[in-house]
Structure 1
Amino acid sequence: MDQIAPLIATHDDEDEERDRPFNAYRFAASDSAKGIVAEAIKLVMNYEERFGLAKNKRRDVDQQTFDLTVDAVLSDLMHHHLVEYPLDIYVTRSNRVLGTKSRYRPRAYSKVFPRILDLLAKPELGYVHQDKAAPIPGASKSTVIRPGPTLLSRMDENDIDVDDLDEHPHSETIILKRMKDRDDYWDEGGLEQYHDTLTTDRYRRELDEINQWLASADLRYDPRGIPWPHTAFDIRDRRLRRIFTQARFTSGGRMFGGFWQQLRKHERRQGLKIAGEKAVELDYGQVGARILYGMAGHLPAPGDLYQMHGYNQHRDGIKKVMSAMIFAEARLDRFPKDTKKLFRKADKVGEVVDAIEAKHPLIKDQFHKGLGHDAQFIESSILVDVLLDLRAQDIVALPIHDAVMVPASKVSMTEETMLRVFHAHAHVQGTVTVEG
């Protein structure tokens, strides 16, 4: 798994807490945090000299990389301990990943990274604790790192908080994921190198415009009245990345990042304020199915596309099965993961698929063709244009894949914009639901 670019959980996974990849763009911003990093660099270099681990003095450029890496590791660990404890950070030690030239890899994540990590983890130094990945098929390929006792002690002594740390701008916001190797069960996908074109340049300009806008937005969060546990986050984390799939820029393209995507649904709705107003979430309804109708050149069936005779109490299950049918490349022969519980015990997946096809005869031949990633690209293009349009109207909007959050007073204008942009891209009428 290529772990250079941190990926955020999808909208469907939003209630799951999970470890996150190492953020190599973190750095010490205050004198106190810089002092911790400087002391660590000095102690590590003394350790190398004492045990004869550095045969020659590093070149200036190599010393700069060394210092940058120590800074990134310790700063990310400090930040993570402050805002995301007790979750962990995972890193890669793969020579194949770290030793290959990549547009995605920050300078602090180079082929010398494992050696620096091992030095920081020496018991005599105690800055890092690491659980190395087991070298066996099927086991996690990631190493987990945590703050060591020395780092925790220095944090306490210097009263470190999140304001002592900062983050360099990420070098790449347009990310392309490669195809998975179908013959390799353990292949988890990875990142694909690419050459810039007029299209990728445009995608990057659009996202830079959105990111600059969000960076200066008046966003606040009040946790009072929200039941525990609370999701830990940094309100300065607002930078979005656009992630394309299947090694092409007409596949996927959803925007990931931003602290609001880490929040659970009830936390966003209760605690988030935009420009001093309560934040309200507007979702596109039945978005994948409606886009598929537009791709096929047909108008959607009237009414709720997920409501059908014989399954009136199982709409959520129908929605998930239909989504799987859009993404699948072969007819479903089993219920998608965690979907069976949404149906009756006697229900069979074949019968459910038949019922969906009977409900939607105009797009029956569009199912099981792997068109989900193409539909998702249209969805992501819609969201990008919605954000740019709302920015032109001076309305701050936070994207959550097929939804946006806006100030309560801007709901009507936002809904109008969402419906207009949807029709322009999908060529069918959309629906928008105001949540809560």
Structure 2
Amino acid sequence: MHARSENEGQDKPLSFHWHAADNSWLRHLPVPKMRTAKGKVAVEAILLDAIIEANGEDRWISHARRPAHYTAAGRYQGTAYTCTTVVNGVDALHEAGLIEVIIAPPSPRAGWQSVFRASPLLRAAMVPNVTYDPGELIRLKIDKKLTDYKDTDATIRRRCKQRELNEPIEAAAIALEAPGVFVAGPAMKAGNVIAYPARKTLYRVFAEDFEHGGRHYGGWWQGIPGELRESITIDGEPTVEPDYSQHHARLLYRVAGKVLDGDAYTVDGYSRDIGKIGFQALINASSYAGAVGAVAKELALDKIPVNPRTGRKRKPAEWEVKAERKEAHAIVAAVKRRNAAVADHFHKGVGMKLQRVDSDMAADVLKRLRSQNVVALPIHDSFIVKRQHEGLCREAMDAAFAAVA
């Protein structure tokens, strides 16, 4: 076992979503034989996650060792994903010398899960050809955790509709034609940015219930910086990214029956970026104090340098956030004054309701464009399309917004 450093970086949760084209890559590895078919599936999934991550972001991969973690596993990870198969598989692979493991303290208050990563032996193995299947396309998170649910006519219809919307995206050749981009196995790298081109299937994530959230996730293009997205091609052709200006601000004014005059994020005494941070905090927080705290956290985060090794920032310390609270109070107050017409909707958690509206709009846009044989890649409030299809995309976006009650 290895000691865990505080500077290891962010872990990646174990998934059973990668699938190898065949098992030939395992022939020269000392893969332990498991007693059950599910155990065999688990071992192969763990090995795939480990070797793919070793050739990608090279993070530790977290896994739970308590049965309570696996209550919703069947829907989201498959029936082979159980506490028994995962723990037994990790331990057997560690004993075989194929992965390195760090076991977390048994207390759920430890703050982190057990982790593993590829050993030198596994890192030297051939990287197989892989596909990625996210499984469940309609997901529900309660308290930020994936939660099982009973299917209804509505969830079944949403799932069928999502499969239809995914068809043109999955069939398209989506690439990144930027200087310095190279492919290493299933990973595509551009400096500190790493993406996995096999991840093209979109799924929707709802929050607390099916009336909140619902945004589309899963596409590799959603996780790269905006300046890199300009280099995305679809079927070899250059693309553009039309977006909704002031998306949630315009939606809030519309559902409130008010008229937005000018820019909701332009606030006296502050930059537009700060005004936008304040507005987003006010619609997402469920209390005034929560909105102030969210702004203070963003102000503190802005002062933290990027780690050159990981390309990420650390989380701000409590004292760093506290030092920004006075300024955050002033920002929140200024944003409320600027948007007095909809201030009654602030710090009441309306953000997730607006996400449900914008996610339905995104589905509407994808449906309209699919009917015209146009491939569109959603980024929540924008869509990547071939340059020649920009006009059609903007028309679909305008129609979807006009249909909002």
After TM superposition, the score normalised by the length of structure 1 is: 0.77
Residues 25 and 128 in structure 2, CA contact (< 8 A), matched pair in contact too? no
Gaps of 5+ in 2: 1-8, 182-188, 304-323
The Cα shift of 1:146 comes to 0.6
State the AA in 1 paired with 2:269.
G
The equivalences for 1:134-213 within 5 A come to: 134-136=105-107, 139-153=110-124, 155=125, 160-163=126-129, 165-167=130-132, 169-178=133-142, 180=143, 189-213=144-168
1:388-412 Cα shifts (integer Å, max 9, x gaps):
1111111111111221111111112
* Residue 398 (structure 1) aligns with: 377
Please state whether the residue corresponding to 2:32 is helix, strand or coil.
helix
CA distance in 1, matches of 2:112, 2:76: 19
Looking at structure 1, the residues matched to 215 and 100 of structure 2 have their Cα atoms a distance apart, in angstroms, of 34
Distance in 2 between the 1:243 and 1:40 partners?
35
Does the C-alpha gap of structure 1 residues 304 and 147 become closer, same or farther in structure 2, counting only changes over 3 Å?
Answer: same
**Equivalent residue of 1:75, what SS?**
helix
The one-character-per-residue Cα deviations of 1:196-221 (angstroms, maximum 9, x if unpaired) are: 12221121112111222211112222
Moved more, 126-135 or 17-26: 17-26
Query: Structure 1 CA distance, aligned partners of 2:153 and 2:355?
Result: 21
Question: C-alpha distance in 2, partners of 1:341/1:127?
Answer: 38
2:339 paired residue number: 360
Secondary structure of 1:208 counterpart: helix
**Which residue of 12, 16, 39 maps to 1:20?**
12
CA contact (8 A) 1:233 1:259 kept: yes
Instruction: Name the counterpart of 1:348.
Output: 327
- Identity rate of aligned residues, in percent? 30
Give the corresponding residue for 2:6: none
Separation in structure 2 between the aligned mates of residue 342 and residue 234 of structure 1, nearest angstrom: 28
Match of 1:87 in 2: 59
Between the aligned partners of 1:351 and 1:99, the Cα distance in structure 2 is: 44
Alpha carbons 1:316, 1:342 under 8 Å: kept: no
Whole-angstrom CA distance in 2 between matches of 1:36 and 1:74: 13
Q: Is the 8 A contact 1:321 1:336 kept in 2?
A: no
Offset, 1:225: 5.0
> What is the distance in 2 between the residues matched to 1:100 and 1:418?
35
Contact 2:215–2:355 (8 Å) recurs in 1 = yes
AA at the equivalent of 2:392: M
- Structure 1 CA distance, aligned partners of 2:203 and 2:239? 22
Query: 2:77 maps to what in 1?
Result: 105
Q: 1:142 to 1:223 in 2, by over 3 A?
A: farther
**1:240/1:257 contact within 8 Å kept:** yes
Aligned equivalents of 1:341 and 1:32: distance in 2? 46
Aligned positions, number: 367
Rounded to whole Å, the distance in 2 between the matches of 1:90 and 1:357 is 41
For the pair 1:249 / 2:210, whether they are aligned, the reply is: yes
Q: Give the direction of change, closer, same or farther, for the CA distance of 1:33–1:292 in structure 2 (3 Å limit).
A: same
Contact 1:324 1:336 in 2 (8 A): no
Determine the structure 2 residue equivalent to 1:10. Answer: none
| Unaligned runs of at least 5 residues, structure 1 | 1-16, 46-57, 181-188, 428-436
Counterpart residue type for residue 284 of structure 1: Y
1:323 to 275, 280, 283: 280
Deviation (angstroms), 1:139: 3.6
- Matched with 2:40 is 67
Question: 2: CA distance between counterparts of 1:140 and 1:350?
Answer: 31
2:308 corresponding residue in structure 1: none
Equivalents in 1 of 2:121, 2:325: separation in Å? Answer: 58
Match of 2:170 in 1: 215
State the partner residue of 1:434: none
- 1:75-123 C-alpha deviation (Å, 9 max, x unpaired): 22222222x133232222221123667422312311211122111111x
What SS does the aligned partner of 1:24 have? coil
User: Does the CA-based 8 Å contact 1:320-1:339 persist in structure 2?
Assistant: no
Q: Which residue of 1 aligns with 2:90?
A: 117
Distance 2:207 2:221 in 1: 23
Compute the TM-score of the two structures, normalised by the length of structure 2. 0.83
Shift of 1:276: 1.8
The one-letter amino acid paired with 2:214 is G
Distance 1:346 1:323 in 2: 16
Q: Which amino acid aligns with 2:141?
A: K
| Residue 310 (str. 1) matches residue 269 (str. 2) | yes
**Residue equivalent to 1:54:** none
Deviation of the 1:288 alpha carbon: 1.2
SS in 2 for 1:41: coil
- Residue by residue over 1:21-45, the C-alpha shift from the partner in whole angstroms, topping out at 9 and shown as x without a partner, is 22213233235224257x5134xx5
- After superposition, give the CA deviation of every residue in 1:335-390 in whole Å (9 maximum; x if it has no partner): 342236879x8973333333222222221111111111101110111111111111
Aligned to 1:418: 397
Secondary structure class of the residue paired with 2:241: strand
Residue 36 and residue 206 in structure 1: after superposition, are their counterparts in 2 closer, same or farther (change >3 A)? farther
Equivalent-residue separation in structure 1 for 2:300 and 2:122 (angstroms): 47
Amino acid at match of 2:263: D
Opposite residue 286 of structure 2, the aligned amino acid is E
**Pair 1:149–1:348, CA change in 2 (3 A):** closer
Amino acid at match of 2:401: F
| Aligned partners of 1:237 and 1:259 also within 8 Å | yes
Which residue in 1 is equivalent to 2:244? 284
Q: How many Å separate the matches in 2 of 1:310 and 1:176?
A: 40
The question of whether the paired residues in 1 share the 8 Å contact of 2:32 and 2:92 is answered with no
Q: 1:371 aligns with which of 326, 350, 354?
A: 350
* Deviation of 1:228 (Å): 5.3
CA RMSD of aligned residues (A): 2.6
